[in-house]
Chain A
């Protein structure tokens, strides 16, 4: 739930800080339509802002920023702590007193009792700013799966933060564009963390916290991750049993809400599974949202109905037509916060969920990444073989005209990101240089300057899972899902990324976890008596829209005269001939729009 913002500055006057935070809150209002709050400490030059989407404890008790009774600790919080009832019980036993039924208050009391050690006790999706007046410290904290966003800007002894990049821009905190974002966007199809479109604005890494020292005006960033000795699960039956238990627990605790909650149902394995398990908990109260199209090959109603007939609650199905896409595309692009080539699907389904009166939904994001549901899991082995050759072998690949083979030129770069981009990337460095009319060397320097990635050496399914979870899902799926959901005041929850469930998946021996004889075999086998055969024994569809066709008919996207440069125009021509994927042209289209 909610959106947050804040500034710490000794240079600006208190009134100026307040005004900037108010501007940010206004820019974030779509994600928090129910309430607004501001907290100021003029002496410290600190202002926290909050826009509320009420899901738990809908009363005024949930107003934020919130403080403890003694007003020593202040918080502005976005997200949900799913295990707050358990934590509350433990805190009550320690003598904590509560005045509301909110999870926000549980964070405050947890911090008061456990200090920094509280961060790793939270199970949920969250990003918050917490100000400790006694220690003169402010923490920014982000959940371990990186579901909730938190962007920050530091400089000149000042700290600013917000749930969305555009709010920081509107408040004038960083007005200058980052000079490298277009290169990254064209390579990835999104802007990978920690980068943004704004200069000096970064995403706080998942599972980490920023600690601001008010006395020294300095900060540090650390992981709050708690080390646990890994016990590898080598027994398939034990793995299945644990998957059943822990996923069911994750879904159950994520259904906690005082406002209406539902499930996105696409017809694939993951969303079907979540719907069926959620139905066991919520019965008639569970609402399902699904989408269908007039375009036959994208119509998943056969599969959706297999699940829907098992469900007791209300079922909402919505037709998305070509003209809806035409009508809403400008809104969708405005709602993106940062350019992305995905998220149109989530925008529509979130819109309908909101129109149907929901405030929170469960989504199946994460199942493919954890259990090998993508083609990259089998392709990565070929990559290993190709890596045996010296890089120079592949340098001629950039002259290929076919897009598919051109990507082989990524093998000339000795960098894990080149491996990822070969599997998942959009444009090659040579094409990006032509599109942006810049030096190839400059493009390479921007793309491959990241030294923080682990060295990929095995090229096995675990490496593929690392790429999918930490790059594709993190930067594309989760960001798009959050920002598109929040643009309609809808919180999207992701049970597959429950911390305990994710850990479980990572602890299962790769031979069992990635049995590639059938996609996501382990997950399917764990729920075989529940999941209809037709759902898992089919070719993978994904949550896909007829965008190739719709975009080819879009009067601006297909109009090459609107694009600058020879390369861009020729790409659009290829697209019209249907030899180019829509997502690549959509990336170009956004670059033009931003220019």
Chain B
């Protein structure tokens, strides 16, 4: 049936009802697929198991292109059998959806299955079904970074040709400032002056995930506070109570109560303003698949320091946009922070950093690459 529109389904666990790196990446992917499909007259649907219909953020795609199953695995199962098996391409945004992929492939061998590989969820041994899926049932594995691609090959012995690196793009709806003043309302909120040197980290602060490296930054700040009395470290992101007590104890034992500001959850609409408030973004994490937050910071002209042993190096274009360090080396972290604080970026340099970041990680390029991948797949 040559005239039938091609059917593409992006199947996700959660896209809108929580916000993390994977969800952000999926939103941009859905937005791109939505627009490509409109242009190509394809039939595109975003399916989300844990979102409800009313979780949709309608700027990303139209309600008729979105199905939220509201946690009902039963409904998702039915939809898979009825509609999933008729799709041309099904993109699974998470390896935990592998079983559904396997069912679709068995019922419709012609359907092409893609998997998006982000980070730690695939850098480890997988169950039999998931391993079978990545090795045999999927036709492409979209890796968000070269590091993730290497890990896919290393851990699961996946055919290298099947693994395509497609770096994330900056969320099309995040504000790109054209002025780089520190927002006055945020200075007021934290009793800061423009003279304060602000280091900023935004990440989930979970007691179950001990790899983000903000403890290192707290320690570094405690060593720097005498040299830079105006230094402030804003540590943002949702935390659980166990982690809250742990961080507070660390802050108190490092004697940096005056320097570290814990903000908790940040509202999306204020995010760009926090990047403007800061002089430096630091996330010395060990296990970022890509680190979408780095390109968001860079898109606001904020320089970044990241770890050198994970996917982050893709986000800073191997050093072109930021500095990667050995996260276990506290001295190196301290030295790097000092370098940035001693040579703060001028407005012109911030603007240049912003435009360099956007020239690499913009949605237009992302869509172009994505379209080519899909067309190649459909042609075969």
Q: Which residues of A contact B (CB under 8 A)?
A: 115-117, 119-120, 209, 211, 222-227, 229, 390-392, 413-415, 444-445, 448-449, 451, 454-455
17 A-B contact pairs sorted by A residue (CB < 8 Å): A120-B188, A211-B185, A222-B270, A223-B185, A224-B188, A224-B189, A227-B189, A229-B257, A229-B261, A390-B71, A391-B71, A413-B70, A415-B54, A444-B54, A445-B53, A448-B52, A451-B57
Q: List residues of chain A with CB within 8 A of the CB of B365.
A: none
- CA–CA, A451 and B190, complex, Å: 26
Q: Which of A209, A222, A451 has the most CB of B within 10 A?
A: A222
Other-chain contact of B188, A226, A391, A413 (Cβ < 8 Å): A226
Q: A391-B72, A392-B74 are in contact. Are A227 and B54 (CB under 8 A)?
A: no
Q: Name the CB-closest residue of A to B186.
A: A222
Cβ–Cβ contact B54 & A455, under 8 A:
no
The minimal Cβ–Cβ distance linking A219 to chain B, given in whole angstroms, is 13
Cβ–Cβ contact A226 & B189, under 8 A:
yes
Cβ–Cβ contact B52 & A413, under 8 A:
yes
Cβ–Cβ contact B265 & A454, under 8 A:
yes
Cβ–Cβ contact B55 & A451, under 8 A:
yes
Is B191 interfacial (CB-CB < 8 Å)?
A: yes
- CA–CA, A226 and B184, complex, Å: 13
Closest 6 CB pairs of A and B: A448-B54, A117-B188, A222-B185, A449-B54, A414-B70, A116-B188
Q: List residues of chain B with CB within 8 A of the CB of A120.
A: 188-189
Is B16 interfacial (CB-CB < 8 Å)?
A: yes
Q: List residues of chain A with CB within 8 A of the CB of B55.
A: 451
The minimal Cβ–Cβ distance linking B336 to chain A, given in whole angstroms, is 27
Is B263 interfacial (CB-CB < 8 Å)?
A: yes
Q: List residues of chain A with CB within 8 A of the CB of B191.
A: 117, 226
Is B108 interfacial (CB-CB < 8 Å)?
A: no
Q: A222-B270, A451-B16, A455-B18 are in contact. Are A414 and B188 (CB under 8 A)?
A: no
Q: Mark B1-35, 1 if CB is under 8 A from A, else 0.
A: 00000000000000011100000000000000000
Q: Which of B257-284 contact A (CB under 8 A)?
A: 257, 261-263, 265, 270
Q: List residues of chain A with CB within 8 A of the CB of B263.
A: 227
Cβ–Cβ contact A227 & B190, under 8 A:
yes
Other-chain contact of B261, A222, A227, A451, A455 (Cβ < 8 Å): A227
- CA–CA, A414 and B16, complex, Å: 13
Q: List residues of chain B with CB within 8 A of the CB of A223.
A: 185, 189
Other contacts beyond A229-B248, A413-B70, A451-B16: 6, CB < 8 A: A222-B270, A226-B189, A229-B261, A445-B53, A454-B265, A455-B18
Q: Name the CB-closest residue of A to B50.
A: A414
- CA–CA, A56 and B210, complex, Å: 56
Q: Which residues of B contact A (CB under 8 A)?
A: 16-18, 50, 52-55, 57, 70-74, 184-185, 188-191, 248, 257, 261-263, 265, 270
Q: List residues of chain B with CB within 8 A of the CB of A392.
A: 72, 74
- CA–CA, A444 and B54, complex, Å: 8
Q: A116-B188, A222-B185 are in contact. Are A414 and B261 (CB under 8 A)?
A: no
- CA–CA, A454 and B266, complex, Å: 11
- CA–CA, A413 and B70, complex, Å: 8
Q: List residues of chain A with CB within 8 A of the CB of B185.
A: 116, 209, 211, 222-224
Q: List residues of chain A with CB within 8 A of the CB of B16.
A: 451
Q: Which of B74, B191, B265 has the most CB of A within 10 A?
A: B191
Q: Name the CB-closest residue of A to B244.
A: A230
Q: List residues of chain A with CB within 8 A of the CB of B74.
A: 390, 392
- CA–CA, A211 and B188, complex, Å: 15
The minimal Cβ–Cβ distance linking B270 to chain A, given in whole angstroms, is 7
Q: Name the CB-closest residue of B to A231.
A: B248
The minimal Cβ–Cβ distance linking A354 to chain B, given in whole angstroms, is 39
Q: List residues of chain B with CB within 8 A of the CB of A448.
A: 52, 54
- CA–CA, A392 and B71, complex, Å: 9
- CA–CA, A34 and B18, complex, Å: 51
- CA–CA, A445 and B53, complex, Å: 8
Q: List residues of chain B with CB within 8 A of the CB of A117.
A: 188, 191
Cβ–Cβ contact B270 & A415, under 8 A:
no
- CA–CA, A211 and B71, complex, Å: 40
The minimal Cβ–Cβ distance linking A376 to chain B, given in whole angstroms, is 22
- CA–CA, A116 and B188, complex, Å: 7
Q: List residues of chain A with CB within 8 A of the CB of B270.
A: 222
- CA–CA, A449 and B270, complex, Å: 21
Q: List residues of chain A with CB within 8 A of the CB of B248.
A: 229
Q: A222-B185, A224-B189 are in contact. Are A229 and B52 (CB under 8 A)?
A: no
The minimal Cβ–Cβ distance linking B141 to chain A, given in whole angstroms, is 31
Q: List residues of chain A with CB within 8 A of the CB of B57.
A: 451
Cβ–Cβ contact B189 & A225, under 8 A:
yes
Q: List residues of chain A with CB within 8 A of the CB of B54.
A: 415, 444-445, 448-449
The minimal Cβ–Cβ distance linking A458 to chain B, given in whole angstroms, is 9
The minimal Cβ–Cβ distance linking B50 to chain A, given in whole angstroms, is 8
The minimal Cβ–Cβ distance linking A577 to chain B, given in whole angstroms, is 36
- CA–CA, A226 and B72, complex, Å: 41
- CA–CA, A415 and B71, complex, Å: 11
Q: List residues of chain A with CB within 8 A of the CB of B52.
A: 413-415, 448
Other-chain contact of A414, B71, B184, B190 (Cβ < 8 Å): B71
Cβ–Cβ contact B261 & A391, under 8 A:
no
Q: List residues of chain A with CB within 8 A of the CB of B50.
A: 414
Q: List residues of chain A with CB within 8 A of the CB of B53.
A: 444-445
Q: Name the CB-closest residue of A to B74.
A: A392
- CA–CA, A454 and B184, complex, Å: 26
- CA–CA, A445 and B58, complex, Å: 13
Q: List residues of chain B with CB within 8 A of the CB of A390.
A: 71-74
Cβ–Cβ contact A116 & B184, under 8 A:
yes
- CA–CA, A445 and B56, complex, Å: 11
Q: Name the CB-closest residue of A to B185.
A: A222
Q: Which of B74, B184, B185 has the most CB of A within 10 A?
A: B185
- CA–CA, A117 and B70, complex, Å: 43
Q: List residues of chain B with CB within 8 A of the CB of A229.
A: 248, 257, 261-262
Q: List residues of chain B with CB within 8 A of the CB of A391.
A: 70-72
Other-chain contact of A115, B18, B70, B184 (Cβ < 8 Å): B184
Q: List residues of chain A with CB within 8 A of the CB of B261.
A: 227, 229
Q: Name the CB-closest residue of B to A445.
A: B54
- CA–CA, A60 and B20, complex, Å: 56
Q: Name the CB-closest residue of A to B265.
A: A454
The minimal Cβ–Cβ distance linking B142 to chain A, given in whole angstroms, is 27
- CA–CA, A16 and B152, complex, Å: 69
Q: Which of B57, B188, B248, B263 has the most CB of A within 10 A?
A: B188
- CA–CA, A391 and B69, complex, Å: 11
Q: Which of A116, A209, A227, A391 has the most CB of B within 10 A?
A: A227
- CA–CA, A115 and B57, complex, Å: 35
Q: List residues of chain B with CB within 8 A of the CB of A444.
A: 53-54
Q: List residues of chain B with CB within 8 A of the CB of A225.
A: 189
Q: List residues of chain A with CB within 8 A of the CB of B184.
A: 115-116
Q: Name the CB-closest residue of A to B258.
A: A229
Q: List residues of chain B with CB within 8 A of the CB of A115.
A: 184, 188
Q: Name the CB-closest residue of A to B261.
A: A227
The minimal Cβ–Cβ distance linking B275 to chain A, given in whole angstroms, is 15
The minimal Cβ–Cβ distance linking B211 to chain A, given in whole angstroms, is 23
- CA–CA, A487 and B123, complex, Å: 65
Q: Name the CB-closest residue of A to B187.
A: A117
